[in-house]
Amino acid sequence: MNDVYLSSINIEDFRTFGEFSVELPAAPGLLLLTGTNGLGKSSFFDAIEWALTGNIRRFTPYVSRQGNTVIPDRDYLTRNGADPDSHAVTLQFSEGESIRRSASQKPSAAEVAALLARPGRGQITDLGTHLAMTHFLGQAERQRFTSRESDDQWAALKGPSGVDRLELIRTRLRGRSTTIAFNNRVKAEQARIADIEKEIADWQGWQAQLERLRTAVRAGGGLSEGDVLSGARVIEAEIVSIAGLKPAGISGETASQLLARLAGLLDTGTKQVSERVARLTGASALIERYQLQAGLAREDSPNLLGARQQLDDARKATADAQARVTNSNGAVTAQSEVLTSAGAEIGRLEAARADLVGQDELTTMIEAARAELNAHTTALDEQRRLLSEADGIISAHAAAAAEEARLQSIAAQTRADLDMSSRLAELIAYARDRQAELSEAVSAAAEVKGNYDAAVDRRQRLSVSIGEQRAELAEAERHASAITAAVAAIASHIHEDDETCPVCQANYPAGELKLLANEAARSGNARVAEITGRVEDLAVQIAVVTQRIDEISPTLARPTSLEPDASRARQAASDLAAALRQSLKADDRDDLASLAVSRDTAAQSQLADARGRVVAQLPTALAAEQRRATATTEIVQLTNRATAATTRLNRLVAEGRDGRERIAARGIPTPTVDEIGKLLATRRGELEAARKRLGELEGDAAAALAALKPLELQLVARETELANAESAQNNAVQATQELTRQWITLGLAGTPNRATLEAAQSAAEKAATDLALLGNALKGLSSLTQDLLLEEEMATVLAQMLAAGGDDGVNDPDAYLKTLQSRLQPARVALKLSQDAQDAINKYTVTLGERAEEYNREVLQPLNERILEFNAAMLSTPGASVQFKANKRVDRTDFEMQLEYDDQIENSLLSGRKVPPQVVLSEGQLAANGFSILCAASTAYRWSRWRALLLDDPLQHNDIIHTAAFVDVMRNLVELEGYQLIMSSHDRAESDFIARKFDAAGLACTRVLLTAPAETGVVYDPPSFNVAAGRALSARTGAASATSA
């Protein structure tokens, strides 16, 4: 089976693409897709990957969770604006095979693998992994081999290399589930052997114990069970009576059961009596505490009565001291009011004297302020007059400028009307041309209308005729078939020498009857041939008439196609004329062109005059503007000064008025400065005497307050002492109640007292002595019942043997022992078989592990060498290369990447460090190594008939990959290895360079340029082919034409 090549790609509404189609030479060569970032270069490769595998690896983590789709394809694959699920991709290959994938058409992975894989390859379980390892190189980081997880890398390598089946067998034989199953099986069989051995040991132990018990019973003697039961019940009654316990009321007990229960009952009684003795011993302290608390709980105790009397005395002394402090504070307050009144009077007199002195000064200041205000007002009036004159000149100039603007607007409108008049003339001429063309088309259509109608009518008649002939032909064929079948049936019964007809019984010479039958069988075909000829003649005539109709139809349809243009031209001319007429305010009789010219001339003349007037007034207006600015500034300054002077004058007048009002309000009749001075001296003497008296009163108040403080502290102390005494009395009452409750809890009556306690202690000690005597009696009775215990033990052993071996085992213990021993040997044989099987599998997996080591030598080592070769050929700074290694484990093979340095010394120094390449190399170096890995895997693992590389902008890290070296390697792959390359680039100059290199080598190169995004899909230039690609396409087209011919 030959290699296959992609011959065409068709993309429909896929991501950024709308309708995209490109045809390729079905031979080694290059398809180069160029476009800026964001136009859809990566989506182009996504489309090819999706068509082949049904998914896109770089989107998988985002659109699915644990194998379940969470985002449907239509949400991220269907182009925005297109119908949901309308996306589709079709890939056509060189041998006529095609793969089309859409929402409704989903080719299976087996079908695609059958097309791409080489014969004898075996089943491909994961086509996407194979293609990602040997065909696709994406831009996304997760699409690079060096950025994947180690398990994903190992899965990608072992598939194309062919070691996946070996790894699958090894995993299944030595995997965790298989190992656990073997271990569980061995443990189960070991447990079964242990159970059998335990049953044998238990049975032998029971036999020996039973024999020992029987020997002991035969050798001993003792009381009967009735005697033991009688003595035990007497002891039980005495224990219950002494310890105060409830009778058990149990019937049907054996002697040993009763003795065991009595031992427990005796222990319980002894424990209760001992606890009572201990509690009564501690009750002596309770009596002493009760007597102490009872004395403190009395209402007439000396402590409580003394505390209450001391509190009453302290309250009386404190109340007397508080009355003295209140009286002293009242005297101080009254004297303070006298002192305040004297101070206020002195202040009033001083203020009055100050107001009288200030009135003379204010009169002088008010006169000066009025003079200043008058000067500012005169200067302000002069500046306002100058401002008014400047405003008049400026307003005149502004009016002239406004008139100029109005005339300029009119001139612009008249110029627009003049332009509209020119366009109207052009539209009228265009409408006349379209009307003339329409008239010619109408005349031509009228000339051929008759011929067209005749041809249509003739075709209709011919169609009716051919329908009739075809019906007649069908009937003739049916009739001929029936006759032929009937005559053939008759002729089959007529022999060469028959002379009598089997139908009509007529006689014919020998041989003639057979000849007539054969001729009759063929006679029906003549009529069929005749009708068939007529049908064919009618079909030829219909074709000729139809051709004539097709020739005439364009002439008849031409007026219809020209009518819209002519109508639009007429309407446009009419609309423009109406608009111009409205703008010029003209009627239907006016000449619009002349009117537009005249009005434009007049408007331009008026505009020129107005501009002259504005220019003449400009110097005067500018001078006026300057004067206006100066006057405005002066007015502002003078206004501020006048305002300040007015404010100062108003303030002075107000101060004078306020001073006079304050003097009048104080009620001093016709005061003078000297009189007020004498009153001030008198009032100041009175103020000093009042201050001296206030000091004396404040000393008395302080002394009274000092005497009150110790009394208040003493009162607080007496209140605290009384509260403590009352609290102690309440606590003592509660303590006596609690001690009485504890006394009753001990089972003693009344309140705590010594006589009751001594009587209770004597009774408890007597009960303890009695129980000890009963214990001795119970031990003596138990020592006389050993034979009964041996019989019960024998019954227990027999019950265990009966549960284990049944009646047969109890009747013949030796036979049951042999049965158990016979089950032991098969169990040991089964265990040996399982252990041998596990050992065999372990040895076989060791052999498979050695095969994994061979994989390192035979598969990974050549691949590593090829990676080094590609890095050396393409990388501008090879330095370090990624190398692969598979590490053998018991149940799996772990894959890891290592770095190998070109410099041998550096490699020997750094090889011991287990540092992943991802933390040593830069992103650019990782991407470049990923490209070398793809090329190495593609050339080393030739599993596919489609030898191709699909590279999404591989030179984006061109500081690492040497561009010229890269192109040379790609050319060699095409020319020497027969590869088909599909590549993209964001750099137009880079694409031109690559295309020139392929042209120089005479290799096929097809280029597609993506230009801009659009609502209907990305816009692209038609594919361009170099000479070699064009030659290959022409050869394929010629071969296809020859095949169809």
Residue-wise pLDDT tens digits, 317-332: 888 878 877 887 787 7
Q: Which is it for strands 1005-1012 and 29-34: parallel, antiparallel or unpaired?
A: parallel
C-alpha 880/C-alpha 900 separation (Å) is 6
Give the per-residue pLDDT at 91: 94
pLDDT band at 152 (very low <50, low <70, confident <90, very high): low
Mean pLDDT of the chain: 77
> Which tops the pLDDT comparison, 805 or 841?
805
- Phi, psi (deg, nearest 5) at residue 89: -135, 135
- DSSP secondary structure string, 613-672? HHHHHHHHHHHHHHHHHHHHHHHHHHHHHHHHHHHHHHHHHHHHHHHHHHHHHTT-SS--
According to DSSP, the β-strands at 64-65 and 1019-1020 are unpaired
Q: Which two tokens stand for residue 569?
A: 């031209």
Residue whose token pair is 């120089």: 1000
Q: Which among 856, 858, 928 has a CA at the least distance from the CA of 894?
A: 856
Task: Say how far apart CA 769 and CA 765 lie, in whole Å.
Answer: 6
Cβ–Cβ under 8 Å, residues 285 and 739: no
Q: In this model, does residue 791 exceed pLDDT 70? A: no
One-letter identity of residue 918: Q
Query: pLDDT (tens digit, 9 = 90+) per residue, 116-136?
Result: 888 766 667 677 777 877 888
Q: What is the dihedral of CA 72, 76, 81, 87, to 10 degrees?
A: -70
Distance CA 318, CA 306 (A): 19
- Determine the Cα angle at 627 with ends 626 and 630, to 5°: 90
Q: Are 174 and 842 in contact (CB under 8 A)?
A: yes
Euclidean distance between the first and the last CA atom of the chain, given in angstroms as a whole number = 26
- Segment of 300-309, 361-370, 1022-1031 carrying the highest mean pLDDT: 1022-1031
| Domain ranges (residues) in the chain | 1-124+947-1045
**How far apart (Å, rounded) are the C-alpha atoms in residues 31 and 33?**
7
State the CB neighbour count (10 A cutoff) for residue 601: 12
Instruction: Report how far residue 878's alpha carbon sits from residue 421's, in angstroms, rounded to the nearest whole number.
Output: 76
DSSP state letter for 15? T
Q: What is the 3-state secondary structure (H, E, C) of 395-436?
A: HHHHHHHHHHHHHHHHHHHHHHHHHHHHHHHHHHHHHHHHHH
Average of pLDDT values for 909-936?
69
- Phi, psi for residue 101 in degrees, rounded to 5: -125, 130
Confidence class for position 1017, pLDDT limits 50, 70, 90:
very high
CA 589 distance to own-chain centroid: 77
> Which runs of consecutive H residues, i.e. helices, occur in 784-812?
786-811
Average pLDDT over residues 980-1006: 91
For the entire predicted model, the pTM comes to 0.40
User: Which residue did the predictor score with more confidence, 874 or 655?
Assistant: 655
Which residues make Cβ contacts (< 8 Å) with residue 446, sequence separation at least 6? none
φ, ψ dihedrals at 517, nearest 5°: -65, -40
Percent of the chain with pLDDT over 90: 10
What lies within 8 Å, CB to CB, of 711 at 6+ separation is: 314, 317, 318, 321
**What single DSSP character describes residue 24?**
-
Q: Which fold has domain 1-124+947-1045?
A: Rossmann fold (3.40.50)
Q: What is the DSSP string of 302-317?
A: HHHHHHHHHHHHHHHH
Rg, Å, the chain Cα set: 65
Q: Are 48 and 12 in contact (CB under 8 A)?
A: no
Q: How far is CA 872 from each of CA 137, 868, 962, rounded to the nearest angstrom?
A: 19, 6, 10
Q: Which of 398, 409, 405, 404 is nearest to 618 (CA)?
A: 398
The identity of residue 652, as a single letter, is L
* Residue 431 token pair: 């409408």
Taking every pair of Cα atoms in the chain, the longest distance, rounded to a whole number of angstroms, is 195
Burial of 636 (0-12, 13-18, 19+ CB in 10 A): exposed
Mean pLDDT (whole number) for 45-56: 92
Q: Please report the pLDDT score of residue 891 as a whole number.
A: 47
- Take residue 244 and report the two structure tokens written for it: 């105060």
User: How many C-beta atoms surround the C-beta of residue 308 within 10 A?
Assistant: 14
Confidence of residue 157 (pLDDT cuts 50, 70, 90): low
CA distance to 379, 553, 635, 644, 650, per residue, from 370 (Å): 15, 110, 20, 12, 10
- Beta partners for residue 11, in sequence order: 20, 89
b/e 188-201 (16+ beta carbons within 10 angstroms → b): ebeebbeebeebee
Lowest mean pLDDT among 33-37, 170-174, 315-319, 876-880: 170-174
Contact 438, 551 (CB under 8 A): no
How big is the CA angle at 435 (ends 433 and 441), to the nearest 5 degrees?
A: 105
Give the model's confidence band at 474: pLDDT under 50 very low, under 70 low, under 90 confident, else very high: confident
DSSP character at residue 120 = T
With 60 as the cut, is the pLDDT of residue 222 above it?
no
pLDDT of residue 44: 94
Reduced to 3 states (helix: H, G, I; strand: E, B; else coil), residue 34 is: strand
Question: 673-745 and 283-296 are packed helices; what angle lies between their axes, rounded to 10 degrees?
Answer: 140
pLDDT digits (tens, 9 = 90+) for 483-531: 666 665 566 556 666 666 665 666 667 666 666 666 655 555 667 777 8
Distance CA 399, CA 263 (A): 138
Name, in order, each residue with C-beta under 8 angstroms of 800's C-beta and a sequence gap of 6 or more. Answer: 202, 206
Separation CA 945–CA 3 (nearest Å): 5
Please tell me the distance from the alpha carbon of residue 1005 to that of residue 25, in angstroms, as a whole number: 9
- For residue 797, give both structure tokens: 């052993």
Let me know: does 205 contact 197? Beta carbons within 8 Å: no
pLDDT band at 79 (very low <50, low <70, confident <90, very high): very high
Tokens of residue 958, six digits: 């061109």
Q: What is the mean pLDDT of residues 992-1005?
A: 92
Is residue 138 over pLDDT 70?
yes
Query: Which of 788-797, 855-864, 929-938 has the largest mean confidence?
Result: 929-938
Q: What does the block give as tokens for 758? A: 């001594």
**Residue 316 and residue 711: Cα distance in Å, rounded?**
10
Q: Which amino acid is at 293?
A: Q
DSSP, res 147: G
The partner residues of 34 in beta bridges, in order of sequence, read 985, 1009
Q: What CA–CA distance (Å, rounded) separates 742 from 735?
A: 11
Number of H helices, E strands in the chain: 24, 15
Query: For the chain, how many residues are written?
Result: 1045
Query: Any idea of the CA torsion for 739, 744, 750, 751, to the nearest 10 degrees?
Result: -10
Higher pLDDT, 681 or 77: 77
Confidence (pLDDT) at 336: 80
3-state SS class at 85 = coil
pLDDT tens across 715-752, in order?
Answer: 788 778 778 777 777 777 777 777 777 777 777 777 77
Instruction: Please return the burial class of 53, using the count of CB atoms within 10 Å of its CB with bins 0-12, 13-18 and 19+.
Output: buried
